[in-house]
Structure 1
Amino acid sequence: MNTTYLALEIKRIVRSPQFTIFTIGMPVVMYLLFGAIFGDYVLDNGLHSSTQTMIGMAAYGASGGALFTGTRVAQERTDGWQRQLRLTPMRGPGYLAVKVASAMAVALPVLLAIFFVGFLRGEPLTAAEWGRQLVFLWAATLPFAVLGLAIGLFGKGDTVGAVTGALMMPLGMLGGLWIPLEILPGWMATVAHFVPTYWLRRVGLDPLTHTSGTWVAVLVLAGWLVIPALVVMRRFRLDTARL
C-alpha cells in the first residue's frame, strides 16, 4: 500500500466541510435526538435504551462514512484519474487498498465522536466496554468500505452520492439502527436479518447484553465483505482494461 497516497487521501477527506458536517455532525445530532425521544430506561435485555441508541447511531454513522467512499471513487472515474494510474508505479490492488483504508479512517472519528458524546451523557459502560465497542464496531465497518467501493466503481460521479444516500436510509431503518426493532412491526424485524446493518448492530450489542451467537454476525459480515470484494476486483480489471 502506498502510504503517501493514503495520507494525501485522508487529508483531502478531513479538510472537506462535508466530512465534519454530514459524516460526523449528523450522526451525533441523530444520537442526541433519538436519545431524547426514546429516553433512558432499562430494557428487558438489561441494557439502557440510551446505550442501545448510541450503539445504533455509532454503527449508522461509521457504516455511512465508509460507504460514501464510493462517491470519491466514482468522481475519480469520471475525471479520468484511473487512466493516470497507468502512468504511475501504483498498481490496481494498491489503489483499491488505499481507498478501503481511507474509508476505515473516515469511520473511526465518527465512532470516537459519538462515544465521546455518550461518555459525556453518562452512558453506563466500563472502560473495557468502551474500548471493546470501539474496536468491534470499527472492524465490523470493513464490509461497508468495500461495498462503497463497489458502488463507486459502478456508479457515475454526479449520481452515486444520491444513490448512496438513498441506500443508507433503508439500511438504517431496517437494520434497527434508528429505531429499536422491538417496537417495529414483526415483518421489519424479519427483513432486518437480510441487511448488513442489522449484523453490524449485533456486533455492538451482543457483548453488552451477553447474548451468544456473535460469531454468526461475524460470519454474515464476512460474507458481505468477500462478495463485494470479488465484485470490486473484477469490475476494476474490466475498467482498467478498457482504458
Structure 2
Amino acid sequence: MKSRFLYFLTCVFLYFVPLIFISLLSTQNVYSLDVPLAWNPNSEENLDGYRIFYREDGQSYDYEVPAWEGSKTTCTIYNLDDKTTYCFVARAFDTLGSESGDSNETCYQSEIIIDNRDTEIIIDNRDTETSQTGTWKVSGGTDPYGADSVYSREGATFTWHLTPSQSGIYEVSMRWTAWASRSLNVPVDIEHSDGVATVYVDQQENEGQWNVQGQYYFESGTTYDITITSQPYPSSTCADAIKYRYMYR
C-alpha cells in the first residue's frame, strides 16, 4: 500500500457526479454496461492523476489493479456485465508516488433498455385479445389507433388481455379519442404480477397519442388484464388501444 502524506488529505473530498453520467449501451443483442463517471478535481500542487477502482456487490476492491488511470476528471468503464451491481471509488496520486484514500463510493445496478422494435405489444380495440361487458359503440372521435375506437356509458367495461412471452418490467400506455362528452376521471385497473393498480385518466386531454400509465412487472406465460370502466351518463368513456413496451429484466 502506498504511503499517504499530510498534503494529500484534501483528496478525500473527491466524489462522483451522482448517476448523471451513467449510461448503457447494447451491441448486437448482447447487453453490456458502459459506465461514464466524473469527479471533482483535486487541488494538490504535485497532483499527477487519478485511478478508478470498482468492485462487484459483496466483494472488495483490488487496489493493485485500477480499472482506469489518467489525468482527466472523467472516464468510462467499458463492457461490464449488465446483470451485476458495481461500486466505484476514485483515488488521486502525486508525482512522488503517494496515493490518497478513497473518494465516496458510488454504486449502480443496470436497468437495461432494449430495442423497442422487438419489444412493443399493441392491443387494439378490434383485436381478439379483448373482451367487454355492456354495449360499446364505434366512436366518431378522431385519431384512433387502427380503424376506430369505441365508447360506452353506465359502468360497461372494456378489457385488453396480455400474455407476455418474456418476463420483465413493461411500460404501459393507453390511447383514447376526443369527444365533448368524454369523462375527466376514468378508472383503469392494471393487473400485474404484484396485484392490481388503479389509475385515473382524463379523456378530455392528450387524445390521439400514447399516454404512459406506469411501469409494471409481468411474468411470461401469464395472462394479465387492463380494464377500463365507463362512467355514468352524460359523460362517455372511450376504449381504443393499449401498448406494452418491454423495459428491462
TM-score range, shorter chain: under 0.3
TM-score normalised according to structure 1 size: 0.21
TM-score normalised according to structure 2 size: 0.21
Structure with more of its chain in helix, by fraction:
1
Rg: which structure is higher?
Answer: 2
